[in-house]
Amino acid sequence: MRVIITSSRPSIHTFPTSISTPICVSPNKFLKVLKHTNSISHNFSNPLRNNNKNTRYRILSGCKMGESSGTSMEVKLGQMVYEPILEEGVFRFDCSADARNSSFPSLSFVNPKERDTPLVHIHKTPSYIPTYEFVAEQQVVYFELPAGTSFYGTGEVSGQLERTGKRVFTWNTDAWGYGSGTTSLYQSHPWVLAILPNGDALGILADTTKRCEIDLRKESTVKLIASSPYPVITFGPFASATNVLTSLSRAIGTVFMPPKWSLGYQQCRWSYDTDTRVREIAKTFRDKGIPCDVIWMDIDYMDGFRCFTFDKESFPNPKSLADDLHDAGFKAIWMLDPGIKHEKGYFVYESGSEKDIWVQTADGKPFVGDVWPGPCVFPDFTQEKARSWWANLVKDFISNGVDGIWNDMNEPAVFKLITKTMPESNIHRGDTELGGHQNHSHYHNVYGMLMAKSTYTGMKLANPNKRPFVLTRAGFIGSQRYAATWTGDNLSTWEHLHMSISMVLQLGLSGQPLSGPDIGGFAGNATPKLFGRWFGVGALFPFCRGHSEKGTTDHEPWSFGEECEEVCRLALKRRYRLIPHIYTLFYLAHTKGLPVATPAFFADPKDPQLRTSENSFLLGPLLVYASTVSELGVHQMQHVLPNGTWKSFDFEDSHPDLPALYLQGGSIIPFGPPHQHVGEANLNDDLSLLVALDENGKAEGVLFEDDGDGYGYTNGGYLLTTYIAELKSSVITIKVSKAEGLWARPNRRLHVHLLLGEGAMVDAWGIDGEDLQIVMPSENEVSKLIFASKNNYKIRMETAKLIPDVEKPSGPKGVELSGIPVEIKSGEWALKVVPWIGGRIISMDHLPSKTQWLHSRVEMNGYEEYSGTEYRSAGCTEQYTVLDRDLEQAGEIESLKMEGDVGGGLAIERNISISQDNPKVFNIDSSLVARNVGAGSGGFSRLVCLRIHPTFSLLHPTESYISFTSINGSKHDVWPESGEQLYEGDLRPNGEWMLVDKCLGLGLVNKFNIDQVYKCLIHWDFGTVNLELWSEDRPVSKQSPLRVSHSYEVMQIP
């Protein structure tokens, strides 16, 4: 039996004598553990309410796979106790008074004391009181909500917008090329936003930094599992989701006020590898009239990837480069990673060592792990002295003309380790107020946030009169106080374009409004249509940046032909027109905690159809409706709108690849000229207003203006204007109803556009600050205007220069990622196959358990088959032809038959099928066959081997292993630390082996014909494992092919 010892919370005042990795407990399996108890005492003057009078106990037993008998333990169950905190409608729940007193300090709350201080004057009871189980030092919390409740939030997550049926694990992970079923990405937000059937909303926060399972697979039920003890905070139910989010913001803080330039378009590449190339990119933007505000420098600007250095050949004078960019209206953002090269003489390493600020191993030595520079040490950002050290390095770095800083790889990512991060047994010597000395499992999820905080502080030290701009890949709930974020290393596929909308919205619904994807996709080559379509919607995300991976084709707006370039130009001009509105939304987000981008259902939360709408979103009252389907332009879609009045409009720029725009009745939004960069804007520019009256003939909207940088707005240096419009006696009057701030109103013209519907409008000019009147056209005149507008829209759509419908990558580099995979979805499985490159399976989802066992990029990994013993030999990348695809034929629910030419007269045949008799299993029958082998060889081929090479994703690397019984009867549990293992002869698995995930309580069983398989190989890698099946190694003829028949099934582990 593999016994894992864990500790509950050690005192933050003393270094713990035993700190180790926490266990993972599945609902069906409990491991006996040795328990250490230690706690911190808090003084609470009020007695806790609902003091667990109904607490009961039960005995659970279970055994690890391969053990003959189980172990028993006492499990505590009951209702949680609660106290009101923070403000009315917010409650803190704990399993007991003792659990409350021994919980760790909050790292999500702006003021942790507010979480720990009961409100004595509030005597209301919560609408929903959770129950709990306490087993094996894991605290399991249940919320049972009304049938018809919808779930959102859970932070940075891929897949569907409405989260019912999903399960995620908060564990910051370097998740390159993630898929829709990936359960842990770069950030952790242990937060659920529940929309009740009546439209009310409830927020649920598990306030723990440790790995937390958020299980929403049971309808209308929230299940939270994490190491105990931890409090759960609820917000509401309130009348709207917006009210929940503003209440949450009073706990975890609002987004930092971004400098206005950071809301412009930003261009990035891994990497623009010389300052000459950077200048060329900047010049091309200006020459082509494509708006842009920022150029980014990825890691290759450094000297050997050493942070705070510059390559003397490629970037000999960064200050001169920054000056040139500034002169052209650009800002420069530079990357800084946490991994510091372990190298004597390197000034950053030497100063950090002198101050003793590195993360340590369990035996007290600096931890050294490989990242880009090679062996690296890592700052321990849980210590104030380390944060101060880093901040001062940043302060000095800013003097090179740096305008913003990009913190990457800060999960922290570590190469050559199966967990993709540092060992959980590593030690952080944290400040007392953060939780004291703890192992890495405690601080892992907040490492990136604490790094971003340190970077933010350093930028403020460099220039207190400028607003810092920091972008972080890793984060925790509350990171928005210091940094923006992006959705990580996505793929250039239509699926990722579609997911990008939901991912941005989920982050916004989890307290982080300033986010966006790598527009066009980071990994792989976009096609022109995919790139243009993505630019259309991406230009309206809160954070707007294009970024692409080394080795791919160029992904600048002009890289895909004239038609795509024009779509990108139109999209960015839209954004720059709307920056006054977007900047106002961020001011309201910063000062009031209001969301910036929200799902369409925010306009009509009672409409169940809108709750799953994934191709539209709101920017305040502005509805953006996009097509994320390759075959359909936006004008060919059926637009499902929220209830009420919605007026469509454009800037005479409608195009099939650009989203449709609607303004909600009762709203006014500002817009301005389409400048080339934010710095071109002038307060005396003409101000334009879009007005959509509601059914009562009224509308209202706000505009925030200030210097666009600095903190003058905190001392009254701003102008916040509320405009109203009202229809009386066929005359619409637009005027200022209220103004705040010390700024005088600029002397400028006002251009008002009154929306009539179907894109039609009437307009009038006036002076800002003075009443302006528009005579409402008659019904007949409105009808004519609408008819003319619809006709003009039709003509624009019909005459638009369409982006070529080419589903292949432009240019010679890389491979096609944008083709549509063949989907096999039947029984308990959903598979995605790409016949055009290796016939590989790139996704393997088990539907009942909602687990994705395999996910890969298109051009490598996934499920592959080779025709030789060499890795990635013929068969891996060849194009396969689909021979047959049938539904419900010959006893099969669905089958796909393919064949790929592997040279020398040979082909690999593969048939993937799901049987009606056993829909739990999918089968793969593969053959290496001779098609046209020359007679001179006696009809026999070269020496070949059919090698099955699946690469499975490890959701929980340290809790996964391979289990099997050999032909000779010996039993094997093979863990990641064993490295690569080859089994031949009687040591081969006796026809099956299983990939076990203890956290999930599931096993992926691979059964095979032992007479066809001569070798079995296990290879553990960076978050993955290969379970390979090898046929014998021999020539084949038409009469003697090589075959391997095998199957996959998911089983629950008792």
What residues are labeled active site? 408, 411, 489
How far is residue 60 CA from its own chain's centroid? 37
Give how far the C-alpha of residue 79 lies from the chain's centroid of Cα atoms, to the nearest Å. Answer: 33
Q: Pull the structure tokens for residue 690.
A: 């879009």
**Whole-angstrom Cα Rg for the chain:** 30
Residue 195: enclosing H or E segment and its boundaries? strand 191-195
Spatial contact of 53 and 14, defined as CB atoms under 8 Å apart: no
Return the bridge partners of 884, or none: 897
Give the separation between CA 883 and CA 901, rounded to whole angstroms. 13
Contact partners, residue 258, CB within 8 Å, separation at least 6 = 467, 469, 484, 514, 586
Per DSSP, what are the bridge partners of residue 757?
760
Residue that has been written with the tokens 């008792």 in this structure = 1054
**Contact between residue 501 and residue 464 where contact means Cβ atoms under 8 Å apart:** no
- Give the whole-angstrom CA distance, residue 726 versus residue 712: 33
Strands 1042-1052, 1024-1030: pairing is unpaired
* DSSP letter for each residue of 669-718: EEE----SSGGG--TTSPEEEEEE--TTSEEEEEEEES-SSSSGGGGT--
Residue 383 backbone dihedrals phi, psi, to 5 degrees: -105, 135
For residue 297, the Cα-to-chain-centroid distance in whole angstroms is 22
Helix H segments across 548-640? 562-592
- Locus of tokens 């014909």: 1009
Return all residues near 983 (Cβ < 8 A) that are at least 6 apart.
966, 989, 1015, 1016, 1017, 1018
Whether the Cβ atoms of residue 699 and residue 669 lie closer than 8 Å to each other? no
3-state secondary structure 523-570: ECECCHHHHHHHHHHHCCCCCCEECCCCCCCCCCCCCCCHHHHHHHHH
- In 3-state terms, what secondary structure has residue 547? coil
Distance CA 796, CA 801 (A): 9
Decide if 533 contacts 493 (C-beta within 8 A): no
Contacts of 16 by beta carbon, 8 Å cutoff, 6+ apart:
7, 10, 38, 437, 438
Amino acid identity of residue 106, one-letter, is: S
Q: Which two tokens stand for residue 999?
A: 């956290």
Q: Write out the two tokens for 907.
A: 């082909």
Reduced to 3 states (helix: H, G, I; strand: E, B; else coil), residue 344 is coil
Q: Is the peptide bond before 237 cis (omega within 30 degrees of 0)?
A: yes
d(CA 721, CA 698): 17
Residue 555 near residue 831, CB atoms below 8 Å: no
Q: Are 167 and 455 in contact (CB under 8 A)?
A: no
| Measured distance CA(459)–CA(469) in Å, rounded | 8
Bridge partners (DSSP) listed for residue 618: 598, 623
d(CA 947, CA 937) in angstroms, rounded, equals 23
Which is nearest to 79 in space by CA: 52, 115, 45? 52
Residue type, 553: T
Query: Dmax of the chain from CA atoms?
Result: 97
CA neighbor of 145 nearest in space, from 225, 90, 202, 230:
202
Residues, the chain: 1054
